[in-house]
Every structure is written in structure tokens, then in C-alpha cells.
Structure 1
Amino acid sequence: MRKIVNKSKGITVCVVLCFALLFSAHHAFAADVYSFGVVPQFEQRKLHAIWKPIIDELEKRTGLHFNLVTTLQIQDFEKEFIAGKLDFVYMNPYHILKAADVQGYIPLVRDKVLLRGIVVTRKDSPIKNVSELNGKEVAFPSPNAIGACMLVRAELERRYNVKVVPLYVKTHSYVYLNVAKDLTVAGGGVEKTLQEPDQSIRDSLRILYTTTSFPPHPVAALPRVPKEVREKVRRAFI
């Protein structure tokens, strides 16, 4: 009887140890995977085509593992980083300030090339001056898109006393598509993102207005990400 009891105890100990090892291994693996959120300037297929190679290269350079996180709408992306669900983020300077206030996101690196907001119309549009947009419906990605919406609207109002009726269509891609399909008379975007739509869409548009330059989108990290990991990512982007 004693042998049976001892044997049972031995089996129990082995089972407990196995579960402990499995949990430890799973925890260690999970801790090495970092979420990397990207502001949805484009529709998801395009976003993945642009960012998947970047994430793959980042993994090679750092030896770390990343999970690329994208959302359908900029508003959904905002909810994710405000809730602190994203370890690393690529987003505009306005979002960085907002994220720093609520979660303390730390900027790591940004592109050196300044960006400029734009207003586009169809090439065959009769509109030749931004003053003609007053009271018109204009497409924008989201209210908090700093170059494509905030800066554009601020400059139109301040410099030309032009107030437009905003139509928020979720991404830069949809802005250009709306204008190309003549669903809105104009749309706000950024010079850099105008290079991404299909050639047929680009060929149908022209730039009506260009804003002053503003800083590009930075990559930032949550304070909970270890300092050595943040440094690896920073160096990989340089």
C-alpha cells in the first residue's frame, strides 16, 4: 500500500512539474512577442503589403518577434493605443501627444523628411481655387489625421476663411477613391500617401492646395517595454 501511495505522489509531482514547465515556457514565449500597431492610412490589404516586409526586417535586425496590428478605422486604432494594448506604435504627432498623456508612450525614432498635407480634386473639376470649397463637402480620413485633416482645415479657415463640411471616410485610400469617383468635390490627404493608390486613381486627381510642412509620424513604445528592447528597435530603424 505504501508503495502505491509513494508512486501516486511521484506521478502527481511529475504532472505538477510538467504543467509548471509548460506555463513557464508559454509565458517566456509570449513575453517575447510585441504588438506593433500601425495607424490605418490605407485599407488593410495595402497596409499589410507596406508594413509586413518592414516588420519582417525588424525581426531580423532585432532578434525579437512582433505581431502586426491593424484596424479598419483610425478611431479603432485610437481606442487600442489609449487602452495601452499596443507595445509599439506608428502614428502621427498628434496621436503621440495624446498617447503620452494617457499611457506615457515614448517616441523612439521618426523619418527626417517633413510631410505636407494636400487637398485633391479631380483633374476635370471646375474648382480652381480653395475659396470655391467654402460650404462644400470634403472627404477626410478622420478628425485626428494631423496632416490630412487638422492642418488642412486649420489653414483653409485661417488663411482663406473657408469652412468645409467634413466627410470622414476612415483612410487616405478612401479619400482619394471618393474624389476619383466624384462622390465628393475634394479630399484631404498627405503628399506621401498620394503615391500609394492605383495608377488610374492617381491619374484622375490633381493637387489643389498644399499645407506647410509638419513632422513625420514617429515610432513610439509603451514604458512597460524593457529599455533594452526599445533601444534594439530604435537602432533597427536608424
Structure 2
Amino acid sequence: MKRLVLVLALAFSLLNFAHASEQVYTLGVVPQQSAKKLARLWTPVTQYLSSKTGLAIRFATARDIPTFEKRVVEGEYDIAYMNPYHYTVFSQKPGYRAIAKQKNKQIKGIFVVRNDSPIQSLNELSGQKLAFPSPAAFAASVIPRAQLDKEQIAYEPKYVSSHDSVYRNVAKGFFKAGGGVMRTFNNTAPEVKAQLRVLWTTPGYTPHALAVHPRVSSSASEAIQTALIEMASDPEGVTLLKSLNFKQLEAAGDGDWDDVRALNIKLLDHLLSE
């Protein structure tokens, strides 16, 4: 009896050690939407990737985009889903490597206004307070603001932490217009979207990157990349992609974001020198 107890205790200890020593990979998702909504959308994806790769992968995000940026530059996430401009910065420091992006997709920013707004052109935004997710939100903030500057349209930017917050604030009439992207606009609450219309759309650029931190091994990176690419050929994966408003993912390389680098954006250069 004592021997059986000893064997069981040893087995239990070994099991606990195995769980304790299991490496957990965090997938950090840029907080374009609320943490609750992102958890609902992305937790099933991390569970799917875990089952396909044999790696323990869990969802993570941040309360706002500046906090996310700080965590990415500090290497807090093993895998990160980040906007195109973020990738051009964080591929330098701490050296994230792109493994996947949406296939046959370009990201386009938008300005939204209320359905009943009389505004029909960007010129009519002159002198207005406009809502944006954050200063470095690429398609939802950087590109729309650059267009306003190019056309010498004076405005006052206000940063409201997420795309969903932009849409809610414009729908409530707190701002005449706000910046977002089509994917999050299509994915926002139906009752909010129904009150809005798209005023203007930016040119298209290479979309968000799924990238891994340099500490992630080549074997783990390849396993995650393969699972992401093969989602489109698996019914469960297709359902998960659809929930994200994705169609298909493909392998990506660092040079895919050279169109964004060509814009020579300097907003987050201070993070590279810290």
C-alpha cells in the first residue's frame, strides 16, 4: 500500500512538473476593438493553433494601442498580430519576424460619419474635432491624417483608444467623423454600424502582420505558420477565419511591408532608441 502511494505521489509530481515546465506562447493582438470582443474572436483561434501545432498558445492583448506598442517593443508577446506600420518598427526592435498575412488583401483606412450627416467631402471636416484610435494606428489614423494634411485641412485629432470607440463616439454625435478600417467597421456592433456611413477610403497597403519574436524557435515558427496557412483548407479553420473577417492567410516575408516603409513614417522612432 505504501509503495502504491509512493508511486502515485511520484507520478503526480512528474505530471505537475510537466505542466509547470510546458512553454506557453502568447499571441498578442493589437487592441483595435475591446478586449472582451478580441478574446471572444481570438481565443478559439489560439485553441485551434494549439491543437494543430502541439504548442500551448494563449491569447493576450492590451487596454489600448500605446500599451500594446510598449509591450511589443519589450518583447512581451511571442507572437503578435500588429498593424503594418507597427511591423516596420518592431521588425527593427526587438526584431519580430513576419510569418503570415491575409492573402490577396490590402488594408484600407476609412473616415466614417453619421448616416444623417450632411458632410459629403473631406473639405467639410475643416475645423472639426475628429476621432482616431491612436496616433500610430496605421490605416485608421496615420494615413487619413496624412491626407488631411496634404489637402491642408485643419482639424483637431482626439484619440479614443480603439476602433470600436471611434465608431461609437461618431454614432453618438460626439465627433463629426472618425478614422477606422473596413474590417473593424464590418465587425463592429450592428446597431452602431447601422448609424454610420463611409465618407472616404484610403489607398490600399500590405495588411497586418502575424509575426514572431526572435526567441521563438524556427521549428515552432514553422509549425505556427503552417497551421495558419492551412486554416483555409479545414472547415473549423474556415469558420474561425470568417469570424475574424479573414478569407485566407499566406506566408509572409519582411519585404512585403516595403510599401509601408516607403512612407517614411517616424511616429514611433523614439521606441527604437529607448
The answer to whether the superposition gives a TM-score over 0.5 is: yes
Which of 129, 136, 143 is residue 128 of structure 2 equivalent to? 136
Which of 189, 194, 214 is residue 185 of structure 2 equivalent to? 194
What per-residue deviation string (whole Å, max 9, x for no partner) do you get for residues 78-136 of structure 1?
Answer: 11111111100000111112112220111111002112100000011121211011221
Q: Normalising by structure 2, what TM-score? A: 0.76
Q: Which residue of 2 aligns with 1:107?
A: 98
Q: Unaligned 5+ residue runs, structure 1?
A: 1-16
Q: Distance in 1 between matches of 2:99 and 2:76?
A: 18
Q: Which residue of 1 aligns with 2:63?
A: 72
User: Match for 1:161: what amino acid?
Assistant: Q
Q: Distance in 2 between matches of 1:209 and 1:222?
A: 35
How far 1:141 moved relative to its partner? 0.4
Q: Normalising by structure 1, what TM-score? A: 0.87
Over 6 Å off, 4+ runs: 20-23
Q: Distance in 2 between matches of 1:115 and 1:94?
A: 11
Report the secondary structure of 1:212's partner residue. coil
Q: Which residue of 2 aligns with 1:88?
A: 79
Alpha-carbon contact 1:149-1:188 (below 8 Å) kept: yes
Q: Unaligned 5+ residue runs, structure 2?
A: 1-9, 230-274
Q: Distance in 1 between matches of 2:15 and 2:46?
A: 28
Q: Distance in 1 between matches of 2:15 and 2:223?
A: 28
Alpha-carbon contact 1:141-1:171 (below 8 Å) kept: yes
Alpha-carbon contact 1:139-1:186 (below 8 Å) kept: yes
What per-residue deviation string (whole Å, max 9, x for no partner) do you get for residues 143-187 of structure 1?
Answer: 0100000011112222x2223211100000000000000000000
Structure 2 residue 142 is matched with structure 1 residue 150: yes
What per-residue deviation string (whole Å, max 9, x for no partner) do you get for residues 5-31 of structure 1?
Answer: xxxxxxxxxxxx99x9689645531x2
Q: Which residue of 2 aligns with 1:14?
A: none
Alpha-carbon contact 1:110-1:217 (below 8 Å) kept: yes
Alpha-carbon contact 1:153-1:163 (below 8 Å) kept: no
Alpha-carbon contact 1:42-1:173 (below 8 Å) kept: yes
Structure 2 residue 9 is matched with structure 1 residue 28: no
Report the secondary structure of 1:78's partner residue. helix
Which of 156, 159, 163 is residue 168 of structure 1 equivalent to? 159
Which of structures 1 and 2 has the bigger CA Rg? 1
Report the secondary structure of 2:219's partner residue. helix
What per-residue deviation string (whole Å, max 9, x for no partner) do you get for residues 184-238 of structure 1?
Answer: 0000000111111222211110111100001110100011111100000111111
How far 1:76 moved relative to its partner? 0.7
Q: Which residue of 2 aligns with 1:207?
A: 198
Percent identity of paired positions between Structure 1 and Structure 2: 40
Q: Distance in 2 between matches of 1:26 and 1:202?
A: 44
Report the secondary structure of 2:93's partner residue. helix
Structure 2 residue 42 is matched with structure 1 residue 54: no
Q: Which residue of 1 aligns with 2:119?
A: 127
Q: Distance in 2 between matches of 1:97 and 1:21?
A: 43
Q: How many residues align?
A: 218
